[in-house]
Structure 1
Amino acid sequence: MPLHWLGLVAAVWLQSINGTNSNFPAYSSELKRILSISQLQLNNLAFASDAGKLLGWVSGVAAARLPLWLVLLIGSALGAAGYGVQFLFLTGRIHSLSYWQVFSLTVVAGNSICWINTVSYILAIRNFPLDRQIAVGISTSYVGLSAKIYTTVVEVAAASPSAPLERAKAFLLLNAALPLLVCVAAAPLTGYADVGKSRRLVAGFVTLFVITAVTGGFAVITSLIPRVLSPPAILIGLVVFLVLPLVTPAAEEIGEAVQQKCLIVVHDEESLKRGGLAGKDGEGSRNDGIGEEIPPLLMLRRAEFWLYFLVYLFGATLGLVYLNNLGQIAESRGSFGISSLVSLASAFSFFGRLLPSLLDYFFSKSTYTMSTSIAMGLMTAPMSGAFFLLVISKQDFALYTSSAIVGICSGAVTSISISATRELFGTINFGVNHNILVSNIPIGSFLFGDFAALLYKNGRVDGEENCVGNRCYQTTLLIWGCLCVLGSLLALVLHVKTKKLRGHK
């Protein structure tokens, strides 16, 4: 049995429970009430979760020196501590926590996400050296399922799921316990590897594509159509869909047996040599990017990194900031379907993360292969159109359309960036390098989020508690649209610059 597939199954499970930061709105109001803090302080707590990514590079250093199962357990333990102490505070078992103690716990909890992400990325890259984009895209798409999983479990398990305090307790307990349990279950699967496989893994990936697409469809339908199924039935369905990837190794084995029997297997030795493969790739002798393995300190001195940093900042990070502010944007425009709007954006983000993998898999034999820089630029460009559409149109249709576009494009850029980091700076230091890149998420969240809040505050009419009307976010959306245009242009510059560097090798 091709056991290396179990590593990808582990990555799928890990990503599906690694969106704990998306649950913050579910208990933020209770924290605000109990801590007696202002709205600005509450916004800073939301930033604290992203701020944990500033230390994400530590998980990359650990992954280069420790077994993956240990890295996984450290990450889940950090999350259990960060969320667990807050749970004990809400339940009264800890009687006193200051605002800054809660802030620090939130940073620790946010940092735990980086550890689990690092293990997931390494599993996909190590086990599928010629199908990295496919494996990474499939696994990371499951992050979009996290909010659905946590919400459904709370609706089923919480004693009074409609009571704010009970929901807050349930989400914090789940955030602390579920990742720990899944990481313990997935830890034994991190040891399976078989880097000698070529791009002949047809049956396994087709099976996983189908399972992933159906899982996403199930999540979308049960989110957008109220009461189509009861919460317990939805939870059972999600568990079944998460167990189904375990059939992938058997599907690949059957597919290989059928191919051999029909004598249609062709071993293309020349393409295998061009792919550079296996242990060589993981050890740095192969690089289909600039042409060398680049350590973190040297990367920070490269102009290519800062171009890449800004492309991500004005693409995926800006999309994340928009989605974080989606509720307030919808409310200011007079839209009351906020829950369905968030579900729509989350669903399209799920498929956006999967899209690059589908394109890479089915068009991998094309004579022209697109660079990751160009791909990121092409996916950032539609986001500018989405923001401009919201500026010129007051209709709910524009809000739903723009949210879908931002969801799918930001999800796609997030997925592509994992391959881009490897393409630009190599695989040996990937864990550290990519975590340094995503440090732009808290930076962008703080800068773009606080700037939007300032403009929102200035847009209020005297005496109003909340800003109402398109003017509240009109200037913000216009600026965001222009930044997306700039991000697309910078992606083109990055492509030209790296193309020249390749030509000099």
Structure 2
Amino acid sequence: MPQTFIQWLSLVGAVWLQSINGTNTNFPAYSSQLKTLLSISQLQLNNLVFASDAGKLFGWISGIAAVYMPLWLVLMFGATLGLIGYGLQYLFITNQISSLSYGYIFLLTVVAGNSICWINTVCYVVIIRNFPSNRQVAVGITTSYLGLSAKIYTGIVDALYIPTKRAQAYLLLNSILPLLVCVIAAPLLRDVKVGKCRRMRGGFIVMFVITIVTGTYAIIGSFNWASKILSPLKNMIGMIVCLLVPSVILFGEKIRDVLAKKLWLNGEPKVYNSKIEENMSVERVENGVREDEEDVSEIEDHEIGVMEEIGVKPSHVGSLDLLLSFLYLLHSVSLAVSCHLFSTTFSQGSKYMISGTGSIVALTAPMAGAFILLLNTTNVALYVSTAIIGICTGAITSLSVSTTTELFGSKNFSVNHNIVVANIPIGSFLYGYVAALIYNKGSNEHGQCIGMDCYRYTFIFWGSLCFFGTFLAFILYIRTRKFYSG
């Protein structure tokens, strides 16, 4: 099978996996029922929210596993963790398990949250290995589909389940759907040895257009007026079609290979063997050099990064730069699922304008202004701020993957990246409790708080953190700019 076909095959598989890997976004759909069954307080429920992210604190285990275990096994292990974590909660919420204590539910929520790390790790490792010269674009496209997860799960539940069964439906889908998709995608995620590779700009343009169309459909389908045109069943079918569309690039690649073979055979009818069939299925050779190839030998074995180039060992987890990478991502909280899908626009463009670290500076600053803008009580300010925050956090999520590779190399990427994303549960814990404290301070005797006064100081606090995050990202950019400019 031609090398480029395997590369695109792995990209399609990663897109499908990312599309169903946002299971923790479904927690609000069944949290109220858990609160009732467990007879817990709002504070204890907030702890479960933290537990859904706390699994990422142990994401480094999946990173180590990806180094020593076959990637398909890492993928299936992650799906199994999700089956256990969400499956047992489903049995509890449907009264098929007589009783589970709050402590067990907390632990199951952590396990379920950790399953996401295993699937993400496999996706990122395969994409970075298979697209070394286009990793930022490839990662940006696949990561953007993660923002589609909530829409996919909601679409399925709306189409197939009655309102009274929604909580059970989300837990059932969270446990089964990732496992099914992992079984389908596991054979597609092949690691190909990349030496000389054809330029893939055309293929990425097609994927980019497909991503934009999918994001547009997801946003339109979320509007109330769209429900008058699209029934829940039609909306679900539309989302499934959107997820299948990326596979057309495989057919296009296959047709291109067939045409290339015919051109080659017409030019050299006597010379044809298995080696030619495998290696000459790309562009026609002119003057002994392939016309449409790209030499990636310099980055094929990209095991060291910017930090080692300037004298800092990438294995030093406690290094200043890894700490800065951790801190400037600590403040990032994804608030807009649909806008997240458009993050690939910025992460692709920034590759050609400024470095990854510089791009993060440019993306973090607008978020600070967006949180301050939320102090304005108009609907326009709400929509604009949410869009800015969603787009910027989505782009930063994409950029953090490729930037981690640039800074610390690809050899230990699976471990380094999972250390960096540990910011998510820590940020969820800290910021969630700060927001809760500010909310409670403004609550009435019934424990309710309504209006801007409940969130004003929260927005100011988050905006200030974004300014601080911009400062940290700028320091990181200053430390690495000489390498990029050189």
**Shared fold (TM-score greater than 0.5)?**
yes
Aligned residues of 2:307 and 2:407 also touching (Cα < 8 A): yes
TM-score (structure 1 length as normaliser): 0.85
Following TM superposition, by how much is the alpha carbon of 1:471 offset from its aligned partner in structure 2, in angstroms? 1.4
2:389 to 406, 430, 433: 406
1:352 to 321, 327, 343: 343
Residues 482 and 415 of structure 1: CA distance in aligned 2, closer, same or farther (over 3 Å): same
1:232 maps to: 233
Question: What's the counterpart of residue 432 of structure 1?
Answer: 415
SS of residue paired to 1:191? coil
2:158 aligns with: 155
Give the aligned partner of residue 177 of structure 2.
178
Structure 2 residue 316 is matched with structure 1 residue 311: no
Per the alignment, residue 465 of structure 1 pairs with 447
Matches within 5 A, 1:264-413: 267=291, 272=295, 276-278=298-300, 280-281=301-302, 284=303, 287=305, 290-291=308-309, 298-314=315-331, 316=332, 319-320=333-334, 323=335, 345-360=336-351, 363=352, 369-391=353-375, 393-413=376-396
Question: How far apart are 1:301 and its partner, in Å?
Answer: 2.2
Deviation at 1:294, TM superposition (A): 7.6
In 1, the alpha carbon distance for the partners of 2:146 and 2:93 equals: 27
- Counterpart Cα distance in 1 of 2:55 and 2:173: 19
Deviation per CA, 1:249-295, whole angstroms, max 9, x where unpaired?
332455676895798997588x736x6132x23xx2x6466528987
**Structure 1 residue 23, shift from structure 2 partner:** 0.3
Q: Percent identity?
A: 51
| Deviation, structure 1 residue 16 | 0.2
* Residue of structure 1 equivalent to 2:71: 68
What residue number does 2:39 align with? 36
Matched, 1:249 2:272: no
Identify the range of structure 1 (210-219 vs 447-456) with the bigger mean alpha-carbon deviation. Answer: 210-219
SS of 1:94's equivalent? coil
Provide, for residues 54-97 of structure 1, a one-character-per-residue CA deviation record: whole Å limited to 9, x for no partner. Answer: 00000000000011100000000000000000001111111010
More displaced 10-residue stretch of structure 1: 247-256 or 51-60? 247-256
Check if 1:207 corresponds to 2:225: no
SS in 2 for 1:216: helix
State the match for 1:339 in structure 2: none
How far apart are the structure 2 equivalents of 1:122 and 1:300? 19
Cα distance change of structure 1 residues 97 and 348 upon mapping to structure 2, 3 Å threshold: same
State the aligned residue count. Answer: 458
Q: CA deviation at 1:196?
A: 2.5
Larger Rg: 2
Partner amino acid, structure 2, of 1:102 = I
1:416-455 alignment to 2 at 5 Å?
416-455=399-438
3-state DSSP of counterpart to 2:95? coil
2:197 and 2:381 map into 1 onto residues whose CA distance is 45
Per the TM alignment, residue 497 of structure 1 is displaced from its structure 2 partner at its CA by: 1.8
Tell me: CA distance 1:405–1:213, structure 2 relative to 1, closer, same or farther (3 Å). same
Shift of 1:371: 1.7
Of the three residues 77, 97, 101, the one matched with 1:98 is 101
**CA distance in 1: counterparts of 2:467 and 2:305, whole angstroms:** 30
Query: Does the 8 A contact of 1:202 with 1:252 survive in 2?
Result: no
Q: Secondary structure at 1:189's aligned position in 2?
A: coil
Task: Give yes or no for contact 2:321–2:476 (8 Å, CA) kept in 1.
Answer: yes
- The DSSP-based 3-state class of the residue aligned with 2:100 is coil
Q: Is the 8 A contact 2:283 2:290 kept in 1?
A: no
Would the aligned equivalents of 1:293 and 1:428 in 2 still touch at CA under 8 Å? no
SS of the aligned residue for 1:195 comes to coil
Give 1:140's aligned residue. Answer: 143
- Alpha-carbon separation, structure 1, partners of 2:21 and 2:245: 19
Closer/same/farther in 2, CA of residues 300 and 384 from structure 1, 3 Å limit:
same
TM-score (norm 2): 0.89
Structure 2 match to 1:337: none
Q: Which amino acid aligns with 1:168?
A: A
Aligned partners of 1:60, 1:187: CA distance in 2, in Å?
17
Kindly provide the amino acid, as one letter, of the partner of residue 75 in structure 1.
G
Q: What is the rounded CA distance, in whole Å, between the counterparts of 1:83 and 1:212 in structure 2? A: 29
Paired with 2:285 and 2:242, the residues of 1 have a C-alpha distance of 31
Contact 2:371 2:385 in 1 (8 A): yes
Could you say if the C-alpha distance between residues 302 and 192 of structure 1 is closer, same or farther in structure 2, counting changes exceeding 3 Å? closer
- Paired amino acid for 1:291: E
Partner of 2:264: none
Which stretch shifts more, 248-257 or 412-421? 248-257
Q: Is the 8 A contact 2:19 2:146 kept in 1?
A: yes
Q: Distance in 2 between matches of 1:423 and 1:17?
A: 28
Q: CA–CA distance in 1 between the matches of 2:155 and 2:115?
A: 22
Letter in 2 for 1:78: L
- Contact preservation (8 Å) 2:13, 2:189: yes
Q: Which residue type is aligned with residue 440 of structure 1?
A: N
SS of the equivalent of 1:482 reads helix
Deviations 1:21-64 (A, max 9, x none): 00000000000001000011011101101000000000000000
What letter matches 2:338 in structure 1?
Answer: A
Distance in 1, Cα, partners of 2:11 & 2:418: 20
Residue type at the aligned position of 2:215 = G
Distance 1:445 1:171 in 2: 22
For the residues of structure 2 that align with 1:395 and 1:229, how far apart are their CA atoms? 30
d(CA) in 2 for partners of 1:263 and 1:252? 21
Give the Å deviation of 1:142.
0.5
* TM-superposed deviation, 1:353: 4.0
Residue of structure 2 aligned with 1:88, choices 68, 71, 91: 91
Name the counterpart of 1:485: 467
Shift of 1:210: 1.6
